[in-house]
Structure 1
Amino acid sequence: MKNISTYYHENVQHKNNIPAFIALLDGEDIQRYFPTEIFVLAHWHRSLEISLIEGATVILQIGNKESIIENGFTCINSGVVHSLYASALGNHPQAMIVLISYDFIKQHYPDIDHIIFYLSLQKDHQESRVLYNRLKELYLHQDHYSYGCLLDILSLLLRKYQSPAPNHNQQQIKDILTYIHVHYQEDLSSSHKAKQFHMSKEYFSRQFHHEIGKTFRDYLMFYRLYKAYGVVNTNSTIENIARKHGFSNTRSFIKVFHETYHDTPLQYCKKMSRY
């Protein structure tokens, strides 16, 4: 399995001379690397992300809009801020995460900045499934024909799923998220960020919620938790983890951890030790 931590960040590393990041997750991977309820906090990347999720129902959130996908494809266009939440997992959930290089797309379709791909334009995604299954087999065998399969996927997207890009600039919210991701360990407040980004507190709070679907306070808390979650099962103490990741005290960290993952940090460590 690929290093799935790369998936969460806007800097996507492409490997094996393939102009795409590909991760294959099976049920064991998901149970080992994700909590009971999967959530991927708001982020973005230049790559086009189209993933096939089976044996699960996920909620894709872009701004305040939620889309429910059951055993199907998620599509996130280049530069779009988004988050993901799995509301239900079956007995054998699987995911094939594919992030196609923006530069690769731009090379073959220079007008990419003026369109988006919208999978809801078609109800039948069988042709996409066939191509994804072929890409999976080629990728597993490290076959150089993976490049050609990516071209076939791009061709299909351009033939069936393209739509004019809306005139919507998310650069400011990206700058705010970037600041949070770098300084999340510090004492941050919405009023201070509003002033820093030259907005009133009310406008800042309204715009943040509109673009992210969460309040500034909730997003900051969940981002701190997400970063702390990645190091809970290490030699570091719970007290040090809580302090290092911006929580006011250990009790608040344990409370939020339990509310989100349905285990205390100690229970989670014991569970992970069985793998």
Structure 2
Amino acid sequence: MKTPFEKIQPDEGSSFRLLHLKISSNIFPWNYHYHPEYEMVFVHYGTGRRHVGNHLSYYEDGDLVLIGANLPHAGFGYDALDEHEETVIQFKEDFLGENFFDKPEMAAIKTLFERSQHGIHFFGQTKKMVGNRLKKMPQLSHFGRMIELLSIFQMLANSEEYVLLNVADTRYDFNQKDQARIKRIYEYVEQSYHIPINIKEVADIAHLTVPSFCNYFKKVMNMTYTDFVNEYRINQACKLLMLEKSITDVCFDCGFSNVSYFSKVFKQIKGKSPMQFKNLVLRRNDSVLRKK
């Protein structure tokens, strides 16, 4: 049995589904799932986790991802730092007719759909321009939405500002046992990230020996368990720094044994030091207060 299947219905009067979500990031569960519909996700702002196929990473300053049919993925609001806002479009390959995308004019878009089976992350001006257009789509008529969506597809198809999240030989097909096991591992990390890493303990939770667990986790998540925990710790550290806690307190609250190592890992993952991140938060908060 595969990863949980999600049934999706098009909007009334439309051939695809358009969602606009704005809710607290704290209520997002880890819900790895799949569906036959393609899915375009635009996260308006903030930092959070992307888990598509066996690719696992954090996005910064929002995200724009196109996910192929039946490619397993988790919700983009999981482990987000800020209030989570996203625009989502879900559609079947034949949503405009069985042979519509076989037309010569649709050749680039058809190639885009084929590429999306690996999961595609878009960045730069492409993310900015497409994101602005997606924000306005809910105000359009159903016909207007369809025309706009085709135009967005063409823009994405012609863009070179993208990264494939998975390559063909690293995709992993989760079954029901994997789903339950990874969920237990996530829950364990959520509860114990602030204490020293104990591979034996988490291996026991996964019902595996330590060597088997290390191999399994690397195959499923495409990263080591230690790297996974450190990424989770650093994301929690960002939340605490946004509350203006001291760097030293945040270091120890998130399970690191010394500030030097904490700063090194923080910079490796976030591309900036804890102090630089803290200063960015302070400037952002000051800007928000001035606007009020």
Residue among 170, 174, 190 paired with 2:183: 174
Give the count of matched residue pairs. Answer: 182
Match of 1:87 in 2: none
| Secondary structure, counterpart of 1:247 in structure 2 | coil
Residue among 237, 249, 254 paired with 2:263: 254
Q: How does 1:121-270 map to 2 (within 5 A)?
A: 123-124=109-110, 136-138=137-139, 168-169=175-176, 170-270=179-279
Match of 2:25 in 1: 5
1:5 positional shift: 2.8
More strand by proportion, 1 or 2? 1
**Partner Cα separation in structure 2 for residue 71 and residue 242 of structure 1:** 31
Residue among 53, 60, 83 paired with 1:62: 53
Q: Is the 8 A contact 1:8 1:40 kept in 2?
A: no
1:6 positional shift: 4.9
1:209 positional shift: 1.2
| Secondary structure, counterpart of 1:232 in structure 2 | helix
**Partner Cα separation in structure 1 for residue 138 and residue 230 of structure 2:** 40
| Secondary structure, counterpart of 1:236 in structure 2 | coil
**Partner Cα separation in structure 2 for residue 263 and residue 172 of structure 1:** 33
Q: How does 1:29-68 map to 2 (within 5 A)?
A: 30=45, 33-34=46-47, 40=49, 42=51, 61-63=52-54
Q: How does 1:68-83 map to 2 (within 5 A)?
A: 73-74=66-67, 80=72
Letter in 2 for 1:181: E
User: How far does the alpha carbon of each residue in 1:110-147 deviate from its partner, in whole angstroms, 9 at most, with x for none?
Assistant: xxxxxxx9869974489xx9xx9598425x9xx9x9xx
Match of 2:88 in 1: 98
Q: 1:134 to 1:187 in 2, by over 3 A?
A: closer
Unaligned 5+ runs, structure 2: 1-20, 32-40, 58-62, 77-84, 102-108, 114-129, 150-172, 285-292
Q: Is the 8 A contact 2:199 2:210 kept in 1?
A: yes
**Partner Cα separation in structure 1 for residue 263 and residue 239 of structure 2:** 14
Letter in 2 for 1:73: L
Q: 1:63 to 1:266 in 2, by over 3 A?
A: same
Match of 2:38 in 1: none
User: How far does the alpha carbon of each residue in 1:199-236 deviate from its partner, in whole angstroms, 9 at most, with x for none?
Assistant: 11111111111111111111011111111112213231
1:82 positional shift: 5.0
Residue among 261, 265, 280 paired with 1:271: 280
| Secondary structure, counterpart of 1:239 in structure 2 | helix
User: How far does the alpha carbon of each residue in 1:33-70 deviate from its partner, in whole angstroms, 9 at most, with x for none?
Assistant: 34xxxx6255xxxxxxxxxxxxxxxxxx422699xxx9
| Secondary structure, counterpart of 2:66 in structure 1 | strand
Letter in 2 for 1:208: F
Letter in 2 for 1:237: S
Q: 1:244 to 1:41 in 2, by over 3 A?
A: farther
Q: Is the 8 A contact 2:188 2:202 kept in 1?
A: no
Letter in 1 for 2:67: T
Match of 1:89 in 2: none
| Secondary structure, counterpart of 2:88 in structure 1 | strand
Normalised to the residue count of structure 2, the TM-score between the two structures is 0.48
1:168 positional shift: 2.0
User: How far does the alpha carbon of each residue in 1:153-209 deviate from its partner, in whole angstroms, 9 at most, with x for none?
Assistant: 9xxxxxxxxxxxx77222212211121122211223222221333211111111111
